[in-house]
Structure 1
Amino acid sequence: MKRINKLFESQFLLDPNLHMWVNRFTEDFTVPYHEHDFIEYCYVAEGNGFHHIEQEIFPIHKGQLFVVPIGVAHVFRPVTPARSSKPPVVYNCMIDLHLVAQLSRFQEQRIQEHLSSLGNKNTSYFSVIDRDGAIENLMVQLQREVSINDPGSITMLHSLLNQLIVIVYRRIHTDADAPATKTADFNHVIHFLEQNFNQAITLTELSRYSGWTTRHLQRLFLKHTGQSFHSLLQHLRIQKSCEMLRNSSLKIGLISELVGYRSIDSFNSVFKRNVGLTPSEYRKSSTS
């Protein structure tokens, strides 16, 4: 069944003089699945949970930034309603098309085209990892300037927004600008891992497959994914197990084997640590 999307409109959420707004919001279960008539930069600052976006569900963690174009439906959710969990805390930077047009005048043509694509309802979302804290710093400054509204705040906001747009654009295209052979080779490594995540795969095996040393592979995983090899492998296994728990009636013991865990106790422990619920609790919450 297709979810019904609520439309969040800029006239009710954005400052009409600024044509934007920035908030720091602790996500809960009251915000509906929604799309909006403005562009949104969402930065995960704390906690954990899930990002439901388009037809996908992603575990989220600190340092992720999602760019949500006009017309793309999404919502952030905590792992569980329990107070003991740490819900996601997200900075939301919302800008309307009027401000986009203003900012575009100071950007290069390729970035102008990038901004235009975010408003034409034909572009999917994308995400980047804030490895050096630059994006978080900009979000903090943006939220502060919106809140204080001091003399010069509009000029400062436009400067900060332009920096955010450029930094995110550069992060998106870093791999595209890298030497094609190196990027392609590492993409083969990722593809190999995605196809064999349920095997007893090791970094040493990946080293033999790729021809790179284990130490260099560790650096490449951090550079290209923002995670270590072991964290990414665990993420792939948990993500696949979540899909199986939501969409099948397979026994949990069988699911644990299918995603690469030889011990159901180990699977339960890792799943609870990453998701905040046991596999059976997650299955019950996702089907209720």
Structure 2
Amino acid sequence: MKRSVETFRSDQFFHERFPLYVNRATENFDLPMHNHDFIEFSYVAEGSGFHHIGGEVREAVKGQLFFIPIGTPHVFRPASTNAVKHTLIVFNCVFSPVLLGKLAGFSSDPDIQSDIRRILDGKETHYALRDPDDAIGKLFLLLHREYALPRQGTTDYLISLLLQLFVAVHRLKSQTPSPATRKFDRFEHLLAYMESRLSEPLTLSHLAEISLWSERHLQRLFLRHASQPFHRYLQSLRVERSRELLRSTSLAIGSIAEAVGYKDIASFISVFKRNAGQTPSAYRKAAGAALEAMDVDTSP
């Protein structure tokens, strides 16, 4: 049976006659498969899951950019309904063909103009790219911040950021990496794999198996590119994720420990205190107090 597809219209998203919209969405199973009459770039900011697009299913991991042209059905899905274990957070930047046509006039580079013309002519199909140096991720942060907190000159600034996004995407698409760069890209992908599976047992032997590198070589890569051994790097990832959960959720300490890969709460508390200098409960209390103080300072 063919799955039904909804169509999202521009007037649902664009306001004040400015044909661009940016959001940061936590994906779930409520949004239907859909297409739209506008152009979209989506960027995976946190977690992992899947992108159903054009009859295909692609893994969606942190640091991945997706281009979705007009009329292409798609939807993001987390790996499961467990929002703590399987979070998928995506930035979406959508804009109209009219704005894209104007953008072409701001560019003096014939290659960028050609990329834009291919999209306007309907010749560009959907694609996905990895963002190895976080250049695109930083642009999406700026786009979202400027859109959410408009100021004087916001329209011009958003247009300039969109043009920068097209330049960054063109550079990624046209890269022909050397063998050494390809290896580093694979290592970056391995780091993204770890970040998206912190609730699971992660061992050096397992990573060696899926990466086809030896454990000894992996240890060298962690020391070279992460400036710390594998075990310490994994601990820092888990502590950082637990800090985020302590600040942004009311989950019990035991639930947070499990969400970042610790079955034994005593071990989690010990590791957290060694890395953060205080217990998880003390950290949550201090973070809450700091947030309250900030609210008082910024209130009228």
TM-score category by the smaller chain? 0.5 to 0.7
Counterparts of residues 1-288 of structure 1 (less than 5 Å): 1-107=1-107, 108-175=109-176, 216=180, 219-223=181-185, 226-227=188-189, 234=210
Q: Which amino acid aligns with 2:45?
A: A
The alpha carbon displacement at 1:228 in A equals 5.1
Contact 1:69 1:119 survives alignment (8 Å): no
Deviates more, 1:73-82 or 1:227-236: 227-236
The alpha carbon displacement at 1:110 in A equals 2.5
Change (3 A) 1:167 1:224: farther
- Distance in 2, Cα, partners of 1:39 & 1:232: 39
Contact 1:45 1:136 survives alignment (8 Å): yes
Change (3 A) 1:126 1:235: farther
Contact 1:70 1:119 survives alignment (8 Å): no
- Distance in 2, Cα, partners of 1:174 & 1:224: 15
Change (3 A) 1:105 1:235: farther
- Distance in 2, Cα, partners of 1:235 & 1:111: 35
Deviates more, 1:17-26 or 1:112-121: 112-121
- Distance in 2, Cα, partners of 1:74 & 1:233: 32
Change (3 A) 1:147 1:7: same
Change (3 A) 1:115 1:2: farther
Contact 1:36 1:71 survives alignment (8 Å): yes
SS at match of 2:62: coil
Give the TM-score, by structure 1 length. 0.62
Calculate the aligned-residue CA RMSD, in Å. 2.7
Q: Which amino acid aligns with 1:73?
A: P
Give the TM-score, by structure 2 length. 0.60
- Distance in 1, Cα, partners of 2:46 & 2:93: 16
The alpha carbon displacement at 1:131 in A equals 1.2
The alpha carbon displacement at 1:144 in A equals 1.1
The alpha carbon displacement at 1:224 in A equals 7.2
- Distance in 2, Cα, partners of 1:233 & 1:67: 31
Identity of aligned residues (%): 36
SS at match of 2:106: coil
- Distance in 2, Cα, partners of 1:61 & 1:109: 32
SS at match of 1:48: strand
Q: Which amino acid aligns with 1:87?
A: T
- Distance in 2, Cα, partners of 1:47 & 1:28: 12
SS at match of 1:72: coil
SS at match of 2:80: coil
- Distance in 2, Cα, partners of 1:35 & 1:232: 39
Change (3 A) 1:152 1:53: same
Contact 1:43 1:136 survives alignment (8 Å): yes
- Distance in 2, Cα, partners of 1:231 & 1:103: 43
SS at match of 2:165: helix
The alpha carbon displacement at 1:164 in A equals 0.6
- Distance in 2, Cα, partners of 1:233 & 1:116: 44
- Distance in 2, Cα, partners of 1:5 & 1:232: 41
The alpha carbon displacement at 1:6 in A equals 1.1
The alpha carbon displacement at 1:160 in A equals 0.8
- Distance in 1, Cα, partners of 2:182 & 2:80: 33
Structure 1: runs of 5 or more not aligned:
187-215, 237-288
Q: Which residue of 1 aligns with 2:276?
A: none
The alpha carbon displacement at 1:16 in A equals 4.2
Contact 2:101 2:120 survives alignment (8 Å): no
Q: Which amino acid aligns with 2:8?
A: F
